[in-house]
């Protein structure tokens, strides 16, 4: 039994999700909650990929459309659309993805650097690529998703937001 604990300590648990037919992973330790899509309160003068904010048990959480963040085409939100709430430096934000897959264990030694793939996905948001059960998983760097200028824009706009809908 001790050996299993040793193995678990050396793998990275990733919550995997799909976006435009590709599979991505986000460090499970950064994930606070997974919730269905619900309407957000739009904030004026914010970048298009910032859809708005949600009142999550008293915390105002910015919600980002990951498709738009990556320069992909916007899709209508369906039954599988979910918002993954992540924490970066104690600050919460949500990322809208097409669907959540599962939690997988990735061996850090199996993570490869991200090749420059041209305009498909901006590689600065990725930590690396890993193969899991013959599937390629792109590992997200959540700290780079919310840029400092986005945070400043949101902070500056927040006093103008009067009624933030409370998430169910």
pLDDT tens digits for 41-85?
Answer: 988 888 889 999 998 988 889 999 999 988 888 888 988 899 999
| Dist CA 89 CA 148 (whole Å) | 12
Residue 11 has pLDDT above 70, yes or no: yes
Q: What average pLDDT does the chain have?
A: 84
Q: Higher model confidence: residue 102 or residue 89?
A: 102
Q: How many Cα atoms within 13 Å fall on the side-chain side of residue 79?
A: 0
Which three-class secondary structure state does DSSP give residue 147? coil
Q: What is the pLDDT of residue 9?
A: 58
Q: Is the pLDDT of residue 3 over 50?
A: no
Q: Is the pLDDT of residue 1 over 60?
A: no
Residue 136 sits at φ, ψ, to 5 deg, of -85, 130
**pLDDT recorded at residue 84:** 97
pLDDT of residue 4: 45
Q: What's residue 95's pLDDT?
A: 95
* Mean pLDDT computed over 140-163: 73
pLDDT of amino acid 140 = 93
Residue 112 carries which DSSP code? B
Residue with tokens 């009067």: 162
- pLDDT band per the 50, 70, 90 thresholds, residue 167: low
DSSP conformation class of 74: P
Neighbour tally for 153: CB within 10 Å: 17
128: pLDDT confidence band, cut at 50, 70 and 90? very high
């Amino acid at each position: 039994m001790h050996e299993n604990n040793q193995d678990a300590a050396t793998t990275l648990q990733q919550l995997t999700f799909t976006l435009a037919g590709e599979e991505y992973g986000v460090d499970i330790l950064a994930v606070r909650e997974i919730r269905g899509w619900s309407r957000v309160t739009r904030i004026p003068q914010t970048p298009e990929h910032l859809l708005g904010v949600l009142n999550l048990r008293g915390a105002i959480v910015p919600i980002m459309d990951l498709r738009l963040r990556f320069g992909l085409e916007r899709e209508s939100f369906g039954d599988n659309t979910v918002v993954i709430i992540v924490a970066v430096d104690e600050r919460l934000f949500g990322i809208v993805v097409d669907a959540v897959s599962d939690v997988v264990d990735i061996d850090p030694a199996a993570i490869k650097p991200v090749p420059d793939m041209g305009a498909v996905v901006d590689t600065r948001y990725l930590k690396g690529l890993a193969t899991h059960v013959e599937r390629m998983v792109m590992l997200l760097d959540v700290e780079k998703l919310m840029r400092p200028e986005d945070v400043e824009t949101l902070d500056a706009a927040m006093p103008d937001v009067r009624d933030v809908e409370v998430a169910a």
